[in-house]
Amino acid sequence: MTNPLSDQLLRENFPQIADLRNQVHISYWSDYHLISQPLLDYLPFGRSLGPTTFYQYIDYQFNNLLIEARRNLLFLSLSGTNHFNQTPVTQTTLFFDETFFWHYYIPVRTREITEAILQGNRIRFLSRFCLSQTQVEVEFNEIRLRTTESGTQLVYCHSKEYTYKWSNSLWEVNIINHEQALVNPANFS
């Protein structure tokens, strides 16, 4: 049974809702597949970020991301969404889609990315976003060059995770993998 007041609040406050099933550059882990479009707009999935773009995003867009993340939690609450077992949806986790990123996006930009790396620039991409009632996690991986007997290839390594806990209102930065293990995206065919 729907609640007319909740339905009205949803229409007024969330006129744009994105269906994650239609997003080719994102994979998600949830029974629920709707997210507010403004939150999705603040998540730069499916593209590489050079140093300037990356730091502009970290320095100037994180506050807007938090505002939209809070609004999305409100959306989940007002919409009364449930998992298959009828427990309320309280978390959304999005990942970059490896097939889209490595087989469609990167091949067209391989030369540009390679030149940027050779000039000493760090190239990153958004690999994961997790929103829950307790925190927001934003994880970026770094693209690197690896030279082997068969030539030079682009690979990625685990990098940094930015965590914002609603309880203390601070961003924490953690390095995910200190050994920087490289992953060859060609293995994800």
Q: What are the pLDDT digits (tens) for 95-139?
A: 999 999 999 999 999 999 999 999 999 999 999 999 999 999 999
3-class SS at 71? helix
Confidence of residue 171 (pLDDT cuts 50, 70, 90): very high
3-class SS at 55? helix
Confidence of residue 82 (pLDDT cuts 50, 70, 90): low
Q: Say which residue, 54 or 151, is predicted with more confidence.
A: 54
- The answer, yes or no, to whether residue 179 has pLDDT greater than 70, is no
Q: Say which residue, 98 or 14, is predicted with more confidence.
A: 98
- The answer, yes or no, to whether residue 143 has pLDDT greater than 80, is yes
- The answer, yes or no, to whether residue 180 has pLDDT greater than 80, is no
Please state the domain count of the chain.
1
Measured at the alpha carbon of residue 50, what is the angle toward residues 115 and 63, in degrees to the nearest 5?
A: 180
Quote the pLDDT of residue 122.
95
Quote the pLDDT of residue 146.
87
pLDDT-wise least confident of 4-8, 59-63, 170-174: 4-8
Domain ranges, residue 47: 4-188
Confidence of residue 78 (pLDDT cuts 50, 70, 90): confident
User: How many angstroms separate the CA atoms of 185 and 51, rounded?
Assistant: 22
Over residues 27-36, the mean pLDDT reads 83
- The answer, yes or no, to whether residue 43 has pLDDT greater than 80, is yes
- The answer, yes or no, to whether residue 181 has pLDDT greater than 60, is no
User: How many angstroms separate the CA atoms of 76 and 34, rounded?
Assistant: 9
Q: Region of 61 please: left (phi>0), alpha (psi -120 to 50) or beta.
A: alpha
Bridge partners (DSSP) of residue 130 are 93, 137
- The answer, yes or no, to whether residue 87 has pLDDT greater than 80, is no
3-class SS at 11? helix
